[in-house]
Every structure is written in C-alpha cells, then in structure tokens.
Amino acid sequence: MKIALIGYGKMGKEIEKIALSRGHEIVSIIDVDNQEDFESAAFKSADVAIEFTNPMVAYNNYMKTFQAGVKLVSGSTGWMAEHGDEVKKLCTEGGKTLFWSSNFSLGVSIFSAVNKYLAKIMNQFPAYDVRMSETHHIHKMDAPSGTAITLAEGILENLDRKDKWVEGTFQAPDGTVSGSAECTADELPINSIREGEVPGIHSIRYDSEADSITITHDAKNRRGFALGAVLAAEYTAKHEGALGMSDLFPFLKD
C-alpha cells in the first residue's frame, strides 16, 4: 500500500518504521516546510495519508487531504471541540474518508471496553465516586488528553450518576498545580500531569469509604500507537466514511 505521512515528529517517524516493516511504501512526507506537496502527484498517489501533527493545524491538513482526494487516518488530538461536527458531516454526507482515534493502541481499546463495563457495574454501587488522571510528556500541547476525553465519554454513557466531565487539577512540568480538585456529584474530574518524557498513562479510580479500585493503561513507548495507526490505514484503504476503532475491533460496539 502507498502511504503518505503528514507530520514527521515522534509519531510520524514511529509510523514510518512500522509501515515499512509491514511492506508498505512511503510515497510522501509532509512537514511544516513543504506544504506545497499536498498538491504533488506523489501525495495524490497515496492510498491513505496518516496525519499526526497538533491541535492547531490538524483541521487544515484534513481539508487539504480531502481536496487532494486522498483517504485519511489521523491521531491528532485537541481539535474535536472546534471542528468535530463539521469533519464528521464531511465524512458521513460529503463523501470524504477519515479514520480518527484519540488513541490507536490496541491496549487502550481493551482498556476502553473494561472502562465501560466497570462504569456499568458501578450503577449498582453508589458508594463509589470516580475520577480520572492522565500523565504525559512535557511537550504535549493539549489537556486533558484526547484519550482521557474518550474514556470519560465512555463513563458518562454508562454510569447514570455522572452527567459531564470537567477539568480538575493541572500539574505543570515544574510541579506547580493549578485548577481545582473540587466538583459536584454529577461531574467527573480529569486531572492532568505533565512530566518528563512519559508516553501516556491513563488511570480511572473509584473510591468508597472502604476501598478503592483503580484501572490503569501505561504506554511503555509509542510503538503501540504506531502499529494501531498502520492497521487503521490498512482498514481505511478498503473502507469509506467516518471510521473509528470500533470498525477495526467490533468488540468495542458491545
């Protein structure tokens, strides 16, 4: 399969390695300095483009890729609140194709299913309150992480006593803490920590007077994200529209 990469940072480089190891060809690499390549024959020859950039530029990259008539996989986070509805409509009604996930790691898909199941069980146990924390490297531009927001949505869909997620505390790389740990009973707080080069840790904690139950996904490196993105590209080459991890792993639909 012919793959174009948009964004050649930590994820772009990891994806290149996995794609080559699975026999794919990288036909174009677009970074900040060669934006004109969106119009090149090489870029347009790609079966799928894989985009990992940042919250500010992701939407523009999607529009340029759609314009070039190339199918897209993207893991960029932090753009959904502003552009999510429009991009989804372009894919459900406008004939464009985007496979997006806040987290392509296979482990996070499993974790997400466990998270929803646990939230459903907790409807029977009102003594437990729930909160979430996410820890990432100091270069991360968005907070809470896209994965934390997706996991929070999974809890809100399944735990009747929670109506919305809210930003809790934010611990900056220098250790200073802003925000507040206070919230109302119907709110699910997400606390964010930025430290070192952490690839990504997500923890969901249920606390009662008697005990606590915590589930955690801890990415050891970026290979899991990259493998998932390449698997998604292989799927996207043969499918159309608004695609996501539940298309790749039907157990996520249960």
Ligand X SMILES: O=C(O)C1=N[C@H](C(=O)O)C[C@H](O)C1
Interface residue list for ligand NDP (CB under 6 A): 6-12, 30-32, 52-54, 57, 61, 75-78, 101-104, 225
Q: Point out the residues that are catalytic.
A: 136, 140
Binding residue for ligand X (CB under 6 A) from 65, 147, 192, 236? 147
In our burial notation (b when 16+ CB lie closer than 10 A, e otherwise), range 168-195 reads bbbbeeeeeeebeeebeeeebbbbbbbe
Select from ligand X, ligand NDP, none the partner in contact with residue 136, using the beta carbon and a kind-dependent cut-off of 5 to 8 Å: ligand X
Strand 129-136 relative to strand 242-243: parallel, antiparallel, unpaired? Answer: unpaired
**27 or 80, CB closer to ligand X?**
80
Decide: is 145 part of the binding site for ligand X (CB under 6 A): yes
Tell me how far apart the alpha carbons of residues 128 and 144 are, in angstroms, rounded to a whole number.
Answer: 23
The number of residues in the chain equals 254
Residue 82: phi, psi to the nearest 5? Answer: -85, -40
| Minimum CB–partner distance for residue 120 and ligand NDP (Å) | 25
Tell me how far apart the alpha carbons of residues 244 and 215 are, in angstroms, rounded to a whole number.
Answer: 23
Residue 118 and residue 92 in contact, taking contact as beta carbons nearer than 8 Å: no
Decide: is 217 part of the binding site for ligand X (CB under 6 A): no
**7 or 241, CB closer to ligand X?**
7
Tokens of 178: 């802003």
**122 or 227, CB closer to ligand NDP?**
227
Tell me how far apart the alpha carbons of residues 206 and 118 are, in angstroms, rounded to a whole number.
Answer: 10
Give the list of residues 6+ apart from residue 34 with CB closer than 8 angstroms, or none.
none
Select from ligand NDP, ligand X, none the partner in contact with residue 189, using the beta carbon and a kind-dependent cut-off of 5 to 8 Å: none
Select from ligand NDP, ligand X, none the partner in contact with residue 79, using the beta carbon and a kind-dependent cut-off of 5 to 8 Å: none
Say how many CA atoms lie within 13 Å of 113 toward its Cβ. Answer: 13
Q: Which stretch binds ligand X (CB under 6 A): 90-98, 140-148, 164-172, 180-188?
A: 140-148
Select from ligand X, ligand NDP, none the partner in contact with residue 7, using the beta carbon and a kind-dependent cut-off of 5 to 8 Å: ligand NDP
Binding residue for ligand X (CB under 6 A) from 22, 44, 140, 205? 140
| Minimum CB–partner distance for residue 57 and ligand X (Å) | 14
Site of interaction with ligand X (CB under 6 A): 77, 102-103, 136, 140, 145-147, 200
